[in-house]
Amino acid sequence: MTATCPTCSWPTPTPVSTHGTIRYLRCVCGKWLIEERGAVLATAGHSTLSDPQLPGDEPSRLSTPGRS
Ligand SMILES: [Zn+2]
């Protein structure tokens, strides 16, 4: 059983290590997947989900002070 990467939907991340029922897999996109019994518990690595400041996704300046 392999987990599908939630980031890039890669179907077969590479298993790196196993600890009991927990498996650590590395995806081609650079993400680490933590899997238990075929279910992805968490991911780590190059994640944009944990980055609150995405470039280009900042709220635009709605106010234009000083215009006269
Ligand atoms: Zn991936």
**pLDDT tens digits, one per residue of 4-27:** 898 899 999 999 999 999 999 999
User: What pLDDT, on a 0 to 100 scale, did the predictor assign at position 38?
Assistant: 81
The rounded Å distance from CA 60 to ligand 1 centre is: 31
The rounded Å distance from CA 62 to ligand 1 centre is: 36
The rounded Å distance from CA 32 to ligand 1 centre is: 8
Q: Per the domain annotation, does 30 fall within a domain?
A: yes
Report how far residue 34's alpha carbon sits from residue 30's, in angstroms, rounded to the nearest whole number.
Answer: 13
Which helix (H) or strand (E) segment holds residue 31: the answer is: strand 31-36
Give the structural domain span for 31.
14-45
Instruction: Express the helix, strand and coil content of the chain in percent, nearest 5 each.
Output: 0, 35, 65
The rounded Å distance from CA 47 to ligand 1 centre is: 10
The rounded Å distance from CA 9 to ligand 1 centre is: 6
User: What pLDDT, on a 0 to 100 scale, did the predictor assign at position 39?
Assistant: 87
Q: Per the domain annotation, does 22 fall within a domain?
A: yes
Number of folded domains that form the chain: 1
Report how far residue 18's alpha carbon sits from residue 12's, in angstroms, rounded to the nearest whole number.
Answer: 16
Instruction: Specify which residues 42 forms β-bridges with.
Output: 34
| pLDDT, average across residues 21-35 | 93
pLDDT at position 57 over 70: no
